[in-house]
Structure 1
Amino acid sequence: MNYHSIKKIIALSILGALSFFASAQKPNWQNLDLKADTTFGISTEKAYKELLKGKKSTPVLVAVLDGGVDLNHEDLKRIIWTNKKEVAGNGIDDDKNGYKDDLHGWNFLGGPTGSIEHETLELTRLVRRDNIRFAGLTAETVPAKDKADYDLFIQNRAKFEQDLVTARSNYAGVSGFKGALDPVIKKIGKENPTLKDVEDFQPQGERETRVKEALKDILKDMDFKTFYETQIVEGVKYYGDQINYNYNIDFDPRKIVGDDPNNSQERFYGNNDVKGPDASHGSHVAGIIAADRTNTLGIKGVADNVFIMGVRNTPNGDERDKDVANAIRYATDNGAKVINMSFGKSYSQDKSIVDEAVKYAVSKDVLLVQAAGNENKDIDVNANFPSRKYLNGEVASSYITVGASGFVDDETLKADFSNFGKTNVDVFAPGVNINSTTPENNYKLENGTSMAAPVVTGLAALIRSYYPKLTAVQVKEIILKSVVKVGHNITYLKDGAPVSVPFSELCVTGGIVNAYNALKLAATYK
């Protein structure tokens, strides 16, 4: 499932809520230094101050493959890529790359009349496809040559039905809590009541009493407005979207694009609307990478001499392999040297087409950075796509997979939602309470490996900017070799119970990326 929306971090129960927004941390914490600032950032500011001051750099083009980027955001507009070979708005493919008026990137989810916002999950699409293929057949009547595919279909259908039931239950739970909560807040008479306001409230009946007790726990860690907006409002939308779109087997928006979704070889479709209908996630990612460090607005990105190319391939639902492959190829062909991929899913219909695109990018000296996912799963065991491992067993040489870490160097360092994998996740990077850019000149705290990946993408771009002769493979090697090793155990939930394991069991390097260390190491490469 993709990290654009389906994998948003929402942890809700009917009468209580846990939030990743609960703990306080320093602004710009992902760029701070553990020793100097007592928060486990990647020492970016230290690197600028001690290693990069007065040094020259060259611009690096970074592609953000995502749900869209707000080109006019106050903290992004200066660093948005412009295709100088294209004449704006003339309806002509001036640079003859197959994409008309691609001034700032491309939208593979668009067509003549608009753009896709919502999509189904890959699991839903697989079940829809195989419902037709195996209609009227049973385990006894299916041809022997199709038996393995049929068994997989039955397995997928059962998972789909189970997930849909869960989504409906969660929607009922969150909506039910909202229905009980709203009248209580109305009685309290304040839009953003404090803990004291709740404690002073005199409930009538068991329903109001239970709401009061839940709020008392919640407001110990966060203010009501943040809780209501990020947990209740987003929770209702999140589970509603699951039911109405993601697990809706009859929903198919692809006619908007006008392509043949089953033709993975098709390259030239879409439109030039890089922002799309919902650019929240992609804009947040872009800001983490390279938000303008020269102004006094908002936030500071990791890299200081980067241009951002927006490539829409990720809807509110699962991205299609065809769009992922074409987005990688587009970014590569148009000069991107680092590609950020803050998306992923558990199923893949056409992994081979993505593998081909990854191989193409690798052959052109591009570094790909992918988010590991937000299910607290071991992706050495649980499939996660795309992946750096090709179908033939070989591994992409310039590809980094990133888990999410928090800001406190203790047993909670692994973000509780973050996927992990001793062989399939390379490094961890800050991914909790990350403040970054969102559309219409706004800023927001977000959580996810979607936020951790662009921290690494920004670091990769920073290295390539100051040391432009280094190859993508060398940059990956530098990032992995220069991590801050974590020597203690972390605790996470496994099958509902806490387990304690060495951090070294979570990823290849056993550490958190570090800009200061990486740039010092890069200086030694010839």
Structure 2
Amino acid sequence: MAFAARSPYPRLALLGLLTFTAFGSRAQTGEAGRRWQHLDLQADGVPGISADRAYRELLATRTPAPVLVAVIDSGIDSTHQDLKPILWRKPSEVAGNGLDDDKNGYVDDVRGWNFLGGKDGQNIAVETLEQTRIVAQDRAQFEGAKRKKLSPEDQAKFDQYQRAKKAFEKAVDAENKELAYLKEAFASNTFSFGKVKQALNVAVLDTAVLRQAMVSRPDVPSAKSLYAYLRRTHFGSTDEELKALEEALNRSRNRVEKSLNPAYNPRPLVGDDVTNLTETGYGNPDSQGPDASHGTHCAGIIAGVRGNQLGADGVAPATVRIMSVRSTPSGDERDKDVANAIRYAVDNGAQIISMSFGKDFSPNKELVDAAMQYADQKGVLLVHAAGNSSLNTDKEQNFPSYRYLNGQDIPNQLTVGASSRLNTPALTATFSNYGQQTVDLFAPGVDIYSATPANTYSTFSGTSMAAPVVAGVAAVLKAYFPQLTALQLKQIILQSAVPYHTQVYRPGTKQLVDFATLSRTGGIVNLYEAVKLADKMTTLK
């Protein structure tokens, strides 16, 4: 699934006579907060990637070359003001003529491709989780079966079924509790906010109204507690909070009713044969899809137009183009789609691929491995989000993984954890996966402001945001030093990562550990240091 930061589990805050349910918060979005990932620790006191410094001190007199970055995700809004100028367009394909002009097996793929769509233009929005699919597919064969009576091949499938069943049941229990909580929170907050609106005789309850009411309406003491609540959660108004809460409620309902429902199967909409793992050409050219929020946000992080005074700046320069390949729904992506998406991106010229998705099971991992090997052979760098489950991936599984099935490291892949703007125990994102052997480095992934559909901008958190930061750094290096290979890009990014020895909370715990022990490099990606190293490497040659 497209990685998004996990919501904090419910906390109830008793505020005066009313109970407001704190379901989460939005980050403050002042100018510095909106672009903190570009800042420099020494110059700005923020553990960013030093992008501003790199452009100012090292790249100002250089001319970048074109670079193509593929974003394999939920889709990208092709009309967004900060993305439209930098989105890839295939010159060999004529839009809307119903023909495969370049004979690549994909009709009208002008902007990219959607492996989650049907020929009739319909698209899958919500999919099942992989453990749900395994339970639905194998329950009849393995429920109640005795392992020792099975063939070696079936024993392996039986073991996978048992693990998937356990994960499925745990997820169902947790999501049902989350859904019940969110329903109660929405009803409770709607009632509570409505009472305050009625008392103050206003249609909108924002912080300005509440601040004034604290002075002018002492007979409404809840105005003070509600004002404090909105300030603490960083919502501008109660309507804004309720909208975000309703969105969370709908996502949770979809997980219960669809993603965790073995009887739910949207795949016939696509029209492919799910058992034919070598099938290509299915899907449609709608590379935006029904909900492009996640992919649009990732694309903006990589290459949103810099310096145009709109929204947020990307990392990469204006010569970088973004290709949209849609294979990631709400729910879990299928291995077949991921493999085809990687191959599509490689075959259409992508030099870097950003992949902000992942899941707990990969029943056809060999397909993804083969596609990654193909990308390696073609000199393409893969940048993957480490995941948002607070797991040590040296010990726990997460897919796509750091290694091939044969145990060898994937040479052309970078795996990225998420860091915050605070050089304190909170430097490591509480949700981020980590691993001294399986996570390469960290990058800004907490409270990242970027593009969202319909010319809007939002603040998201997740390793989903950290991976495109690193993909953007790779794109900068490739643009200004085009002779660098994928393996050299990886080498430079790893060697130039700035190490931190801050005592931080191990994700998911309150245990303090050295930040440097949570990844291979022990560092955070840094564009300034990477450009210096790239310049040195290419000059020596």
Q: Which residue of 2 aligns with 1:270?
A: 283
Work out whether residues 376 and 417 of structure 1, in 8 Å CA contact, stay in contact via their aligned partners in 2.
yes
Q: Distance in 2 between matches of 1:306 and 1:157?
A: 44
Q: Which residue of 1 aligns with 2:17?
A: none
Which of 3, 7, 18 does residue 10 from structure 1 map onto?
A: 7
Deviation at 1:217, TM superposition (A): 5.2
Q: Distance in 1 between matches of 2:425 and 2:374?
A: 40
- 1:80-159 → structure 2 map (5 Å cutoff): 80-113=87-120, 114-134=122-142, 137-139=144-146, 143=150, 145=152, 146-159=154-167
Deviation at 1:180, TM superposition (A): 1.3
Work out whether residues 10 and 231 of structure 1, in 8 Å CA contact, stay in contact via their aligned partners in 2.
no
Q: Which residue of 2 aligns with 1:260?
A: 273
Deviation at 1:87, TM superposition (A): 1.3
3-state SS in 2 of match to 1:11: coil
Which of 473, 476, 491 does residue 459 from structure 1 map onto?
A: 473
Which of 344, 351, 367 does residue 337 from structure 1 map onto?
A: 351
Q: Distance in 2 between matches of 1:212 and 1:121?
A: 43
Deviation at 1:393, TM superposition (A): 1.1
Structure 1: segments with no counterpart, 5+ residues: none
Q: Which residue of 1 aligns with 2:515?
A: 503
Letter of the aligned partner of 2:116 in structure 1?
L
3-state SS in 2 of match to 1:85: coil
3-state SS in 2 of match to 1:523: helix
Work out whether residues 12 and 231 of structure 1, in 8 Å CA contact, stay in contact via their aligned partners in 2.
no
Work out whether residues 389 and 433 of structure 2, in 8 Å CA contact, stay in contact via their aligned partners in 1.
yes
Which of 301, 304, 307 does residue 321 from structure 2 map onto?
A: 307
Work out whether residues 14 and 173 of structure 1, in 8 Å CA contact, stay in contact via their aligned partners in 2.
no
Q: Distance in 2 between matches of 1:201 and 1:358?
A: 64
Q: Quick one: structure 1 residues 138 and 58, their matched pair in 2 at CA, closer, same or farther if it must change by over 3 Å?
A: same
**Would you say 1:167 and 2:175 are equivalent positions?**
yes
Work out whether residues 14 and 174 of structure 1, in 8 Å CA contact, stay in contact via their aligned partners in 2.
no
Q: Which residue of 2 aligns with 1:52?
A: 59
Work out whether residues 123 and 347 of structure 1, in 8 Å CA contact, stay in contact via their aligned partners in 2.
yes
Structure 2: segments with no counterpart, 5+ residues: 13-20
Q: Distance in 1 between matches of 2:379 and 2:230?
A: 48
Q: Quick one: structure 1 residues 373 and 256, their matched pair in 2 at CA, closer, same or farther if it must change by over 3 Å?
A: same
Letter of the aligned partner of 1:348 in structure 2?
S
Work out whether residues 230 and 237 of structure 2, in 8 Å CA contact, stay in contact via their aligned partners in 1.
no
Question: Percent identical across equivalent pairs?
Answer: 45
Q: Distance in 2 between matches of 1:201 and 1:46?
A: 50
Letter of the aligned partner of 1:443 in structure 2?
Y
Deviation at 1:493, TM superposition (A): 5.2
Work out whether residues 288 and 454 of structure 1, in 8 Å CA contact, stay in contact via their aligned partners in 2.
yes
3-state SS in 1 of match to 2:305: coil
Q: Quick one: structure 1 residues 63 and 22, their matched pair in 2 at CA, closer, same or farther if it must change by over 3 Å?
A: closer
Give the TM-score taking structure 1 as reference length: 0.92
Which of 262, 276, 286 does residue 299 from structure 2 map onto?
A: 286
Work out whether residues 211 and 227 of structure 2, in 8 Å CA contact, stay in contact via their aligned partners in 1.
no
Work out whether residues 198 and 215 of structure 1, in 8 Å CA contact, stay in contact via their aligned partners in 2.
no
Q: Which residue of 2 aligns with 1:474?
A: 488
Work out whether residues 11 and 231 of structure 1, in 8 Å CA contact, stay in contact via their aligned partners in 2.
no
- 1:353-392 → structure 2 map (5 Å cutoff): 353-392=367-406
Q: Which residue of 2 aligns with 1:423?
A: 437
Root-mean-square deviation (CA, aligned residues, Å) is: 2.4
3-state SS in 2 of match to 1:374: coil
Deviation at 1:234, TM superposition (A): 2.7
Give the TM-score taking structure 2 as reference length: 0.90
Q: Which residue of 1 aligns with 2:26?
A: 21
Q: Distance in 2 between matches of 1:449 and 1:492?
A: 15
**Would you say 1:515 and 2:541 are equivalent positions?**
no
Q: Distance in 2 between matches of 1:144 and 1:338?
A: 42
- What count of residue pairs does the alignment treat as equivalent? 515
